[in-house]
Structure 1
Amino acid sequence: MEYLLLVIAVGVIFFMFKTLKEYLANPKSYGPLKNQEAEPIFDDPYADYSQKTDIEHSECGLILALIAKVVQSDGKVCEFEERLIAELINDMVISYDNQAFTQESLSDYFYSQKVSIGNVEEFALEFVDKTKGQYKKRLKVIEFLFVVAYADGVLAEEERETIIDIAAYFELSNEDFNRIYDRFEEFMQNKTSQAESQNSLESALQTFGLTEESEENITSELIKKRYRELVKKYHPDIIQGQGGSQRDTLKANEQLTKINDAYEILKDKYNKNANRDSQGEN
C-alpha cells in the first residue's frame, strides 16, 4: 500500500516539481549570470571561500539544507524522494553557472545536512534574507517541501511539524499555508480512495493489454517488457518533448500513474506464480 500511495501521488508531484524547476531555470533566482563573477559572501579578505561555503550561503544550498531537514525529521528516505532530490540537484547545476556547483558537491552537501544537527531556523531565516520581496518564491519552496514529505504517500507528523516551523520563519500567512496543506491532504485522500476501489487484477491486465492472453502465457518477463513500452509511450517528459500541450501532458501523467499501479499488481501476482512454479519443479 505504501508504494501504491507513492505512485498515485505522481500527478500533483509532477506539476509542483515542474514549477519549481521553472523557477530554478531563471538565473536571476540564483545570483550571478553566466560569465559574471559572484560577489564575495564576506567582507573579510582572509576568509576561506571554500566550495562548501559557496554552496551553503547560496539560495540553492539553503533550499537543499531545508529539504534535508524535512527528510531527516522522519528518519527515512524512500526511492522516490531520492529521485526527486537528484533531479532537483541536476537542475540546480544547469541553472547556476558556478564551478562549485557540481552534481557531486551539491549531493555531498545535501547528505551532510541530512545527518547533521543543523538549525532549521538559521537556514530558513537566511533564505528569507536572500529573498526579500519574493514571497511567492518562498511559497514555492514550501510546496516542494510538501512534495518531498508526501513522496512516500504519507506525511509523517515530524515532517509536518518541520514544515510548519519553516513556514513560520518564512513569514507565510496562515491562509496561504493552509491552502497548500489542504490541497495535498485532499489530493492524497481522494487518490487513496480511488486506488482502493479501482485497482484490481482485471483492470491491471486491461491497462497492459493482456486480457486476451492465457494465464500460462503471462510471465514476469512479458510484464516488464510491456511496462517499459508503456512508460516510454506515456512519460510526461517525452510528451512534453514532442510538443504536447499541458493538457496532453496531464493526460499522459494520469495514464502513467495507472500504468505504475497496474505494474505493481501484475508484478506481485506473476512473480509469486513464477516462484511457486520453480519450487514445484524442485
Structure 2
Amino acid sequence: MEILLLITIVIIALAIMNFKDYLYNPHKRPRIENSTFPPDDDEFDRKYDIYATPTKEEKIRNGEYGLIVGILSKLAHVDGRVCELEFELIENTIEDIANQILMQSAMHQREEIIDILHEIFNNTYEDLEELTYSYANFTKGQYKRRLKLVEYMLSLAYADGNLGDSEREVILDVAAFLEIDNGDFNKLYDDFANFYSNQSNSMSVSEAYKILGVEIDDDSEKIKKKYKSLVRENHPDILQHKELDSSIIETHTKKLQDINEAYELIKNHKKIEHERNGEKTS
C-alpha cells in the first residue's frame, strides 16, 4: 500500500514538473501554422474565434439563402455580362429571399437584408464547389429543392436566349455537386434547349404594346416600370414549396420571353422614332 502511495506521489510530481516546463518554454508547445492565422494581422481573425458573435452578413452569407445568392452570382458573372431580363430576375429573387429571411429570423430591417444580399452577389470569394457543397448540407433529403435550383439556373442562363459554354459548365458543376440524377438533368437541359431553338421573332410592334399593356405615346420611364412589374409578376419563386413541382418552362419562361421580346421591340421602335424625329435617345 505504501509502495503504491509512493508511486502515485512520484507520478504527480513528474506531471507538475512537465506542466511547468510546458508553460515556461513556449518553443516546446505545438506551433500554429501561418495558414491558420494570417501573419502581421493586428486584429484577431474572427473567422477562427469560436466565441465571436457572427454579424448579420455572416449569418446570411453562410446560411442557405446566402449560399443560393453566391451560387447565382457565380453563374451571372461567369460570362462577364448580365442582360436586362437576367438582372430583373436576380433582383426579384433577392427580394424573395429577403422576405423569407424576415419571416424566419429576428432580423427586422428589410432594406438592410437586401443590401447584404447585394453585397454577397457582388462579392462572393468562395469557389463554386465550396458554395455548392455547403448548400447541399442545408438541403439533405430535399432533392426537389436542389433540382429546382438547377432548373432556375438554366432559366437565368437562357435569359438572353442563348446558353454560353461557360454558363453550361457552371450549371453542370452545380448539378454534379448536388448529385442531380442524370435523367432529371438531361430532361431539364433538353426542355430549355428545345424551347429556345423553336423561338421565332414574329411579334409585331402593335402586339408588343398590347403584351406590355402600354400605349405608343407612353414615355420610356413608364414603359420600363411596366416591364419590371410584369417580370416581377411572372418570375419563378424557387423558395416556395408550391413551385417545386411546377415546370419553369411551362409556367414562367414563355410569358417572360414574350414580355422581354415585347420590351426590346418597343425600345427599338422608340429609338427609331426618336432618330427619325431628330431627337436624342438615352
The two structures have a TM-score, normalised by structure 1, of 0.61
CA contact (8 A) 1:223 1:266 kept: no
Q: Distance in 2 between matches of 1:181 and 1:58?
A: 28
Flag the 1:179–1:222 CA change in 2: closer, same or farther, 3 A. same
Quick check: 1:98 aligned with 2:102?
Answer: no
Q: Give 2:136's match in structure 1, choosing from 128, 135, 140.
A: 128
Quick check: 1:78 aligned with 2:83?
Answer: yes
Q: Distance in 2 between matches of 1:252 and 1:226?
A: 23
Q: What residue in structure 2 maps to residue 186 of structure 1?
A: 194
Greater per-residue helix proportion: 1
CA contact (8 A) 1:223 1:267 kept: no
Identity in percent: 32
The two structures have a TM-score, normalised by structure 2, of 0.61
Flag the 1:89–1:274 CA change in 2: closer, same or farther, 3 A. closer
Q: What residue in structure 2 maps to residue 66 of structure 1?
A: 71
Cα distance, 1:226 vs. partner? 9.9
Cα distance, 1:254 vs. partner? 6.2
Cα distance, 1:57 vs. partner? 1.9
Q: Give 1:112's match in structure 2, choosing from 107, 120, 123.
A: 123
CA contact (8 A) 1:69 1:120 kept: yes
Give per-residue Cα distances to partners, 1:164-214, cap 9 Å, x unaligned: 0111010111111111111111111112xx22xx234576588799xxxxx
Q: Distance in 2 between matches of 1:251 and 1:143?
A: 13
Q: Distance in 2 between matches of 1:252 and 1:127?
A: 25
Q: What residue in structure 1 maps to residue 233 of structure 2?
A: 237
Q: Give 1:221's match in structure 2, choosing from 203, 217, 221.
A: 217
Output aligned runs, 1:1-282, within 5 Å.
45-96=50-101, 97-99=104-106, 102-113=113-124, 116=125, 118-191=126-199, 194-195=200-201, 198-200=202-204, 221=217, 237=233, 258=258, 261-262=261-262, 264-278=264-278
Q: What residue in structure 2 maps to residue 30 of structure 1?
A: none
Cα distance, 1:270 vs. partner? 5.0
Q: Distance in 2 between matches of 1:112 and 1:189?
A: 34
Give per-residue Cα distances to partners, 1:68-103, cap 9 Å, x unaligned: 111121111122222111111111121123355711
Flag the 1:103–1:276 CA change in 2: closer, same or farther, 3 A. same
Q: Which runs of 5+ in 1 are unaligned?
A: 1-41, 210-218, 239-245
CA contact (8 A) 1:204 1:266 kept: yes
Q: What residue in structure 1 maps to residue 239 of structure 2?
A: none
What is the identity, as a one-letter code, of the residue corresponding to 1:56?
R
Q: Distance in 2 between matches of 1:251 and 1:182?
A: 17
Q: Distance in 1 between matches of 2:253 and 2:184?
A: 27
Give per-residue Cα distances to partners, 1:199-248, cap 9 Å, x unaligned: 34576588799xxxxxxxxx96358699689979988839xxxxxxx9xx
Q: Distance in 1 between matches of 2:252 and 2:134?
A: 39
Flag the 1:259–1:131 CA change in 2: closer, same or farther, 3 A. closer
Q: Distance in 2 between matches of 1:49 and 1:226?
A: 43
Q: Distance in 1 between matches of 2:268 and 2:155?
A: 27
CA contact (8 A) 2:78 2:166 kept: yes
* SS of corresponding position for 2:278: helix
Q: CA RMSD in A?
A: 4.0
- Higher-Rg structure is 2
Choose between structure 1 and 2 for higher RCO, CA contacts under 8 A separated by at least 6 residues. 1
